[in-house]
Amino acid sequence: MDRNAPIGVFDSGVGGLTVAREIIRQMPDERIIYFGDTARVPYGSKSRDTVIRYSRQIIRFLLTKNVKAIVIACNTASAYALDTVEKEFALPVIGVIRAGALTAVNATHNGKIGVIGTEGTIGSGIYTEVIKQMDPRVQVTGKACPLFVPLVEEGLLHDSVTDEIASRYLSELKGKFIDTLVLGCTHYPLLRSTVGRIMGGDVTLVNPAYETAIELKALLAERDLNCEAGQAEKDPEKYQFYVSDLAEKFTAFATSILPKQVKETRKIDIERY
C-alpha cells in the first residue's frame, strides 16, 4: 500500500464534508478523494440492503482512485454497512459511530445521553448498543430527525423553517434531562447553532467528526500509512470531489464549508461500479 495515496471519504451528500473538514484540519498532509451520493440522498430512509449495496459501489469507485483507507463519513452507512464492507475489502475502513459514542461517554456527567440521527441510524439502535458496551450505566435516548437532511441539502442552515422543525423534534429530548447530545448524522453539525440554541448551554453537543479524524490518524500511524510531509502539496488536486448528481450545487456548498475553495466537482455514474 502506498503511504502517499489518498484517503477515500464518502457520504450520501454534503454531510460528510463536516468529516472531511476535520480530517483536513487535523491531517493537513493527507490527500482526500470525496464522494457524495447526491443522486441517491437521503440514505436515512432506505433499507439496510440498499445502503450496503450503495456503500459497496462507492468503495469500488474509490478503489479505482487507489485510496489507502476509507472513512464512511455517514452515520447511516456506518450503522448498516461498516460491519459488512470491512470484511469484504482489503483496506482499512472506519465509520463515525464508535468515535461519536466514545466522545459522548467521556463528556457526560449525569449519564444521560441523547442521540439525534436519521430514521435508519436511530432505528438500528447502534448508538445505544455501542454506548452501553462502553458504559452500561449510561441511559441513551434516540430521536430521529428525518427532515434535517433535506433542510441541510437545500442550504436552509439558518432559517425560520429549520428553527420550527428543530423545536418540534428536540422538545421530546428536552424533558429527558440529557447533558450530552450526539449529532449522530454528519449533516447535523451544519445545524449546530440551531440545535445548540434550542437545547440550551447546559447540553454538550458532540460532533463525531472530531474523534473520527483522531481515530483515522492513529490507524494510519499504526499501519505506517501517513503521507510523507510535503508530498500531498505536490499534487495540484490534493482534494478531489465526485458526486452522482448536481455537481455545481455541490461545489458551491463545499466551498462554503471547507477551508479552501473547491474549484471543481466531477459527476460520475455510480451505478457502473
Point out which residues bind ligand DGL (CB under 6 A): 11-12, 15, 41-44, 74-76, 118, 121, 149, 185-187
Please report, as a single letter, which amino acid is at residue 189.
Answer: P
Catalytic residue among 33, 185, 216, 262: 185
Q: Find, among 29, 81, 75, the residue nearest to 60 by Cα.
A: 81
Measured from the CB atom, the residue of 187 and 238 that comes closer to ligand DGL is 187
What's the min distance (Å) between Cβ of 51 and ligand DGL?
Answer: 9
CA dist., res. 81 & res. 3, Å (int): 26
What's the min distance (Å) between Cβ of 90 and ligand DGL?
Answer: 25
Q: Find, among 163, 180, 52, the residue nearest to 110 by Cα.
A: 180
Nearest residue to ligand DGL on Cβ basis? 44
Q: Find, among 110, 118, 51, the residue nearest to 80 by Cα.
A: 51
The grid coordinates listed for 228 are 510523507
CA dist., res. 14 & res. 35, Å (int): 9
Q: 134, 110 in Cβ contact below 8 A?
A: no
Measured from the CB atom, the residue of 5 and 101 that comes closer to ligand DGL is 101
What's the min distance (Å) between Cβ of 28 and ligand DGL?
Answer: 24
What's the min distance (Å) between Cβ of 255 and ligand DGL?
Answer: 19
Catalytic residue among 7, 19, 58, 74: 74
The grid coordinates listed for 67 are 485510496
Measured from the CB atom, the residue of 43 and 253 that comes closer to ligand DGL is 43
The grid coordinates listed for 91 are 483496506
Known catalytic residue at 74: yes
Known catalytic residue at 185: yes
Measured from the CB atom, the residue of 38 and 141 that comes closer to ligand DGL is 38
Catalytic center residues: 74, 185
